[in-house]
Amino acid sequence: MATIVGLVIAGILLSILFIMGIAGLVASSSGDVPTVKANSVLYINLSGSVAERIPEDPLAEAFGEENRGIELLATLNALEYAKTDNNIKGIYMEHGYLSGGYGSIEEIRDAIEDFKSSGKFVYSYAEFLSEANYYVASVSDEIYFNPQGIMELNGLSANITFFKGLFDKLEIEPQIFRVGTYKSAVEPFMRKDMSEANREQVGSFINSIYDHYLQKVSASREIDYDKLKVISDSMLVRNAEDAYKYKLVTKIAYSDEIKALIREQLELKEDAKINSVSLKNYIKLANSVDKYSSNKIAVIIAEGEIVSGKGDVDNVGSDKFARVIKKARENDKVKAVVIRVNSPGGGIVASDVIWHEILLTKQKKPVIASMSSVAASGGYYLSMPCDTIVAQPNTITGSIGIFGMMFNMSGFLENKLGITSDVVNTGEFSDIYTVSRPLNDYEKSIIQGRVEEGYESFTGKAAEGRKMDIEALKKVASGRVWTGSQAKEIGLVDVLGSYDDAIKIAATKAGIADDYMTILYPELKSEFEEIMSKLVGETEARFMKANYGNITPYLDQIKKLENYNGIQARMPFDIEIK
């Protein structure tokens, strides 16, 4: 007993010392706001995933992990500030592998293009250029490409993972209920490939996205659109020489050569040190600038799946977001609200709870929807009551349709695990929501009826919000996914523009265009909470990776089925466009 008590006490003391040590590392790593020297360059490592906001990661900072991805809204703010900062003479981008939706990437590209309007230079260097990276790089004055560099310019593809074969082997039967010819979120569980309707809509929206991509690159690089399309369709760029031959890059060179060009631009001597500041540190500086105003625009960031309850940092919890919207509505200093949506949707009840709060807020002050990369199904549900909907041309939106799904696991339980069950009911349908037997036809009709009621409610509210005839709305609904450009043509979106455009529209509608500040909601966790959640999250992730290796992403997708409770307003969120 004494030994056990001693071990417990020792474990507690070691845990306390460990946390104190981590806290000390965090404190030492979170330095003051950096000072930018005169004649400096803003250095951007354009790699990692793009997210609207990235919570503070004290462990990453403490252990020197610099690249945690691109924090979109903070990056846009920093680029805006750099445009007028006399100490910043230009931008130097090094390209790694950038991942994210094209709506978000478009925001970065547009912000860098706007930065160039100040007359300052933008240079890029790359050893590998993905399609996403090149989209941003294409606005650069100079693009230096490594002699052995690899460039991807061969069009977009959309990949969907299907699980029907797995369920067949496990003797698990998905029981599907849906409304909408194009409502394809359930297809991975009932098919082994895309339906013709789904193939049609996916082909339509990825071609729309890529057409916009080619038009923008054509204008930036001064290459004829038709010629650029042939280069892409035929995959004529296979090495650095090809990239230079077709004028996609300006020079084949190594990184020291572009640094020599930067020194020349800054009028420095050959071996002089280049003063630079990283994007991460410059964000701290841009955020520290006093922008106080008594007129506030609340930006409420809805990123991730929409779920009932509180949710967490990776999704949109209906309870938490309803409270945040109510708080903004009741705050007299908040003159307008921007709902920033980057969501493929989720539970229809959770979406409706948030929709109701947005509708109440709209009655008191302007509410603008700003669509990021994805604002579809439940994501569109949050947008449709707003005064104005702003989307990027390549935003994925629409998908106005719903579905429900239950699993009959009787075969799996009995034949694979040897588990059987029996039941005593007080009513004929008391066990309708069980997984231990299949539903009968009448039970299926009950659930299908509820799904159809939900669809009528969704389309009715969408038609009311968009001021459209219900039949006209249904013609563009049926679960179909559209790009922002397409959605603008059919009336689902009001304005094609950026996050900044949405803020300006909100300020104008509120009558505060000359004097306002933005505040972001919901609030992020404290540093201590981030430390603890990070420790738990990393432990779980490493366990999964160690035990399941390369199939871990597929297991993660199956695990997400936990969020499929009740009727869903969700698009096929696991589509990978690359």
Residues 6+ apart with CB under 8 A from 60: 68
From CA 40, how far away is CA 86, in angstroms rounded?
A: 9
**Rounded to the nearest 5°, which phi and psi values hold at 61?**
-65, -40
Cis peptide, bond prior to residue 522, ω within 30 of zero = yes
CA distance 350 to 345: 10
What are the two backbone dihedrals, phi and then psi, of residue 520, each rounded to the nearest 5 degrees? Answer: -100, 135
Q: What is d(CA 386, CA 381) in angstroms, rounded to the nearest whole number? A: 10
183 labelled catalytic:
yes
Q: Which of 99, 372, 377, 383 is catalytic?
A: 377
Catalytic residue among 120, 183, 280, 320: 183
Query: At which residue do the structure tokens 């309707």 appear?
Result: 197
Query: In angstroms, how far is CA 392 from the centroid of its own chain?
Result: 13
Residue pair 408/390 in contact by the 8 Å Cβ criterion: no
Inter-residue contact 87 to 117 (CB < 8 Å): no
Cβ(362)–Cβ(386) under 8 Å?
yes
User: CA 535, CA 179: separation in Å to the nearest integer?
Assistant: 42
Token pair belonging to 400: 């106005």
Amino acid at 486: Q
Selection from 197, 198, 232 nearest residue 215 by Cα: 232
Classified as helix, coil or strand, 173 is strand
CA distance 319 to 239: 52
Distance CA 566, CA 513 (A): 43
Six-digit token string for 95: 């390209």
Q: How far is CA 514 from the centre of its chain?
A: 31
Query: How would you classify residue 504: left for phi > 0, otherwise alpha for psi between -120 and 50, otherwise beta?
Result: alpha
Reported in sequence order, the residue ranges of 305-415 that DSSP labels E, i.e. its strands, are: 305-307, 315-317, 334-343, 345-347, 367-376, 388-391, 396-398, 402-408
Q: Which two tokens stand for residue 403?
A: 């579905």
Query: Angle between the 72-84 and 499-510 helix axes, to the nearest 10 degrees?
Result: 80
Q: How far is CA 109 from CA 105, 141, 324, 494, in A?
A: 6, 13, 31, 22
Q: Which residues are catalytic?
A: 183, 377
